[in-house]
Amino acid sequence: MATILPVLGKHPQFGTNCFIAPNATIVGDVVAGDECSFWFNAVVRGDVHFIKLGNKVNVQDGAVIHCTFQRHPTVVGNNVSIGHNAIVHGCTIHDNVLIGMGAIVMDRCEIHSNSIIAAGSVVLEGTTVEEGTIYAGVPAKKVKNISKELINEEINRIANNYIKYSSWFSEVNAAK
């Protein structure tokens, strides 16, 4: 069973049709929109500040979302995929974003809409990622602009796939 705990009287809140894996951990001041998914070993800690997730956010296996005590909350827009083992900390991520596997997004970063943070990248504290770009490397730098096709082929496809994957687990649980 997932670990879902209040912290200092603040309970995690979830919209409709959310999937929470049995070993995900979600604590404190966390608000998630509709059709979100929290996969195996994901950790979302709203203990030292708030975390707000829009609709269609998937937090993949081993990913961590946290914030900075009394300074930097974490705000994630709609249609966002946070890849396996990524770390998202005290930052703002706008709509239609893909955070690649193992990427790190640090405090005070702002990732604008229709952007991709490549797998393994480190987005240093205070970095602003412009809308419609791909950032890659350590430290992450702009490598190119994103075409409308790539937005549909990658960002939207992955977010929609995670809604489909979530439904597989709903079907299994309904059969019990």
Domain count, the chain: 1
CATH number of domain containing 166: 2.160.10.10
Q: pLDDT tens digits, the chain, 176 residues: what are they?
A: 899 999 999 999 999 999 999 999 999 999 999 999 999 999 999 999 999 999 999 999 999 999 999 899 999 999 999 999 999 999 999 999 999 999 999 999 999 999 999 999 999 999 999 999 999 999 999 999 998 888 888 899 999 999 999 999 875 444 33
Is the alpha carbon torsion for 38, 41, 42, 48 positive or negative? Answer: positive
Residue 30's SS3 state is strand
| Domain span at 75 | 3-175
Q: Which residues pair with 81 in a beta bridge?
A: 58, 98
